[in-house]
Amino acid sequence: MADHYHLLLWCVPLLPLLAGGIIAFLPDAKGRIASKLAIGALFVSCLLALGALGCVLPAGTVRIPAPLTWFTFGDVTLKIGLLLDPLSAGMAAMVTFVALWIFIYSLGYMEKEKRFGRFFGFLSLFCGAMLMVVLSSSLLLLFMAWELVGLASYLLIGFYYEKPSAAAAAQKAFITTRIGDMAFFLGMIWLYGHSGTLLFYDGGNGLLESGALSSLAGATTIGGLTVSAAASLLLLVGAMGKSGQVPLHTWLPDAMEGPTPVSALIHAATMVAAGVFLVARTHPIFSLGGDTGIALTATAWIGAITALYAALVAMAQYDIKRILAYSTVSQLGFMMIALGTGGVAAAMFHLIAHAFFKALLFLSAGSVIHGCHEEQDIRKMGGLRKAMPKTFLVYAIGMMALAGFPFVFSGFWSKEAILHSAEYWPGGKGPFLIAACAALLTAFYMTRQALLVFFGESRSPESHPHESPLVMIVPLFVLAAGAVLLSIIGTPLWPWFEKWIHGEAAVFHAGAFGEKGAIGLLVLSFVIVTVGVGASVAVYRNAMASSDTPDPLCSKLGGFWRFLENAMGFDAFYQKAVINPLAFFAGGIDMLERMIFVPLMGLAEMAIKGCGRITRASDEVGLNKGFDGVCDGLRERADSTSRSQTGSPQGYLRTIGLGVTVLLVLYFWLSAG
């Protein structure tokens, strides 16, 4: 049974990978087949992942199939394998479920696309890799899949590679995440060097088990830093790159150049969560230095800064997808805060809830864009409530979930859990206060977006927005239902999810609100949302008469607004601080090449050509004549020699007869003598 189970678990990541592999060999014209293949594979994979989730539903169940030996050199054996615990099972179920509906949505959204099949191939590749990340039982396999996810993301962002901006965005995403990956790789090597294993759990010898952890905590390195802290920081940098934390966040808004389903799948729901997942997975290492150790502190503060920064920037954006992208960055910051302040369960709950409603938001945004004929500027929209009622409904649900509308939306409970976790962090109130501000801003900018897009009157009368087809709407409703229903498992009343992640049984806890500060926090969250939404409504209600009207806040904030609109100048800063020096350096090298190497090469070329001429001349004059002469002579001799080969059988026979005669004569002569 165990082996059987093991095989089925392997199928979860391998089926989409296989589908992607097969699609890679299908011609573009077979796009329909490719899409069916991809969706079918993912559907089976989803069923298996849900089955796997069912297997670990009983509290405290962890299944670790025996790892496979990948290769052995010397006495070192590298093992890779899969791991099924509540963390990975929940993630796998979420990824397959959300991805399945995004796939189905893509059927409609990408219908007119020429490279339809290729798109599904990339999507399948991405899903397989992501599932591998989630289910991996070793840091090494996780890293390999991590890189594969990066590759798929690169391919998908640059899907419209004819568009220079898309190609540039793809490269930017790839290179930026590569910086983080480098740190991840170093951290991994360091961990391996100290513990001798990369498996998370290995019957007591794993990386996350007591033996390795104590050795990691015991060793120190430069500046008195423990190895665990140093490695954690490196892993954190890797996670920052993937999850778009400041300062490595710049690629994420640009990545919106990819098709909207891709944005929904990769840059909202799954891939960006990989960083958070990594930290959650290796949380035992992070927490070795205590709750206020340098690793966790750094995590918390980076999360806090990111959350606030992205929320501020999101306020001043006009592109519907960019707003959502910054919102994603901000929400990832929230998760980081939770991780840094010890709320792993809160972070994971927020991650999953966020995956649902952010995928929902992106897909609805896609629906809006689709309906508005590829228009992405919210200033040119407005009044879509009437034209696209269904999209409006699901968008509203998603928006309220993200903004944290109280009680019925999962976002409210998850955010509340994060705030709860941050509030009681012994390392200070900073992250809590910042998170509260960010939550307020979240409610503000989401309301702004909803108001500008769906309310008021249409600001571009010449466009005729229309509702999207059923194949796009159905996934939206499913995801909306998920965004709402998920709230059930995360309320403080019945904190099932939190206990489950920690491997404990959940109990219905009626007195939860009576615990210290619980009611206060609840009230605070409520107030934050109300204020944010209220302020936004106050500012933006009827504020935008036409698409040319400047934003009301713009005039009030002036320069700061433009600062926000340019994302606080990160891109410009990178341009000046990194790219320009590099370009200058490259220019210098170019100059060097032109001034010195090119002439040198010219000289060498001339020398070689001269040699060649001399050789050729000697060849033609000396060798050819001489060699040809020898050959001709040989041929003439051969001709005359071969004339003795008469081809006549009797001639040969006669020769044989002569030979026999000579032999006989010799024989008698010798025997006589």
Which residue from 4, 643, 671, 672 is in contact with another protein, where contact means CB under 8 A? 643
Q: What is the rounded CA–CA span in Å between residue 270 and residue 259?
A: 15
Task: Confirm or reject binding of residue 645 to another protein (CB under 8 A).
Answer: yes
Binding segment for another protein among 110-118, 393-401, 429-437, 649-657 (CB under 8 A)? 649-657
Number of residues that bind another protein (CB under 8 A): 20
The residues facing 63 across adjacent strands are: 84
Task: Confirm or reject binding of residue 641 to another protein (CB under 8 A).
Answer: yes
Which residue from 555, 649, 671, 672 is in contact with another protein, where contact means CB under 8 A? 649
With respect to another protein, which residue has the nearer C-beta, 555 or 645? 645
Residue tagged 């806090």 (tokens) = 304
Which residue from 461, 639, 670, 671 is in contact with another protein, where contact means CB under 8 A? 639
Which residue from 598, 617, 653, 666 is in contact with another protein, where contact means CB under 8 A? 653
**Least distance between another protein and beta carbon 663 (Å):** 10
Binding segment for another protein among 49-57, 234-242, 347-355, 656-664 (CB under 8 A)? 656-664
Task: Confirm or reject binding of residue 664 to another protein (CB under 8 A).
Answer: yes
- How many C-beta neighbours within 10 Å does residue 162 have? 8
Beta strands 68-73 and 76-80 are: antiparallel
With respect to another protein, which residue has the nearer C-beta, 112 or 643? 643
Tokens standing for residue 430: 């900073």
Collapsing DSSP to helix, strand or coil, 319 comes out as strand
Which residue from 223, 644, 671, 673 is in contact with another protein, where contact means CB under 8 A? 644
E strands, 131-275, in order: none
With respect to another protein, which residue has the nearer C-beta, 617 or 658? 658
With respect to another protein, which residue has the nearer C-beta, 626 or 657? 657
Closest Cα to residue 274, out of 172, 125, 142?
A: 142
Alpha carbon 189 to its chain centroid, in Å, reads 21
Which one-letter DSSP state was computed for residue 226? B
* Footprint of another protein on 422-441 (CB under 8 A): none
Alpha carbon 561 to its chain centroid, in Å, reads 31
Helix, strand and coil in the chain, % to nearest 5: 75, 5, 20
Task: Confirm or reject binding of residue 671 to another protein (CB under 8 A).
Answer: no
**Least distance between another protein and beta carbon 673 (Å):** 17
Task: Confirm or reject binding of residue 648 to another protein (CB under 8 A).
Answer: yes
Closest Cα to residue 391, out of 363, 372, 409, 364?
A: 364
Task: Confirm or reject binding of residue 613 to another protein (CB under 8 A).
Answer: no
Task: Confirm or reject binding of residue 657 to another protein (CB under 8 A).
Answer: yes
With respect to another protein, which residue has the nearer C-beta, 555 or 641? 641
With respect to another protein, which residue has the nearer C-beta, 163 or 654? 654
Collapsing DSSP to helix, strand or coil, 115 comes out as coil
* Footprint of another protein on 317-376 (CB under 8 A): none
Secondary structure of 192-220 as H, E, C letters: HHHHCCCECCCCCCCCCCHHHHHHHHHCE
Which residue from 175, 634, 665, 666 is in contact with another protein, where contact means CB under 8 A? 665
Binding mask 183-202 for another protein (x = CB under 8 A): --------------------
Binding segment for another protein among 57-65, 271-279, 355-363, 634-642 (CB under 8 A)? 634-642
Task: Confirm or reject binding of residue 555 to another protein (CB under 8 A).
Answer: no
Q: What is the DSSP string of 471-517?
A: HHHHHHHHHHHHHHHGGGGG-TTS-HHHHHHTT------GGGGGSTT
E strands, 44-169, in order: 68-73, 76-80
Q: Which residues lie closer than 8 Å to 327 by C-beta, 6 or more apart?
A: 310, 311, 314, 358, 361, 402, 442, 445, 446
With respect to another protein, which residue has the nearer C-beta, 374 or 639? 639
Binding segment for another protein among 114-122, 130-138, 498-506, 659-667 (CB under 8 A)? 659-667
Tokens standing for residue 28: 């573009």
Binding segment for another protein among 1-9, 17-25, 308-316, 639-647 (CB under 8 A)? 639-647
Q: What is the rounded CA–CA span in Å between residue 99 and residue 492?
A: 29
With respect to another protein, which residue has the nearer C-beta, 516 or 643? 643
Task: Confirm or reject binding of residue 660 to another protein (CB under 8 A).
Answer: yes
Which residue from 1, 162, 461, 650 is in contact with another protein, where contact means CB under 8 A? 650
Task: Confirm or reject binding of residue 575 to another protein (CB under 8 A).
Answer: no
Which residue from 203, 647, 672, 673 is in contact with another protein, where contact means CB under 8 A? 647
With respect to another protein, which residue has the nearer C-beta, 204 or 647? 647
Peptide bond before residue 431 is cis, with ω within 30 degrees of 0 = no
Task: Confirm or reject binding of residue 661 to another protein (CB under 8 A).
Answer: yes
Q: What is the rounded CA–CA span in Å between residue 465 and residue 375?
A: 10
Which one-letter DSSP state was computed for residue 114? T
* Footprint of another protein on 22-81 (CB under 8 A): none
Q: What is the DSSP string of 333-388?
A: HHHHHHHHTT-HHHHHHHHHHHHHHHHHHHHHHHHHHHHTTS--BGGG---HHHH-
**Chain residues in the site for another protein (CB under 8 A):** 639, 641-650, 653-654, 657-658, 660-661, 664-665, 668
